[in-house]
Amino acid sequence: MAQRYEALEKRRNMEVEGYKTDIKLLRQRFKGCREATIQGDAEHRARPRSCYSGCSAARQQKDTKISRGTEPGE
């Protein structure tokens, strides 16, 4: 009976060690992704307003209005 209990305890300890290793790896990956996201966000914010991806649709609308002659001020 003692051998079975020792084997069970050993398996539990190994399982806990595996979970700790997994958590450590996931934390490292998360940290890397977070740093890359923050760095990318900082680089994106440093660009001029015209570089934002969301304004390409606004530029297309403006170009369309200009080509049709409907731009205010004309």
- Residue 61 CA to chain centroid, in angstroms? 30
- Residue 73 forms part of a structural domain: no
The pLDDT of residue 11: 96
Q: Are 43 and 37 in contact (CB under 8 A)?
A: no
In a domain, 28, yes or no: yes
pLDDT, one tens digit for every residue, the chain (74 residues): 899 999 999 999 999 999 999 999 999 999 999 888 888 777 766 665 555 555 555 555 555 656 666 555 54
Tell me the residue range of the domain where 13 lies: 2-68
- The verdict on residue 74 lying in a domain is no
Q: How far does the chain reach from its first CA to its final CA, in angstroms? A: 94
- When divided into structural domains, the chain yields a total of 1
Q: What is the pLDDT of residue 3?
A: 93
pLDDT of residue 25: 96
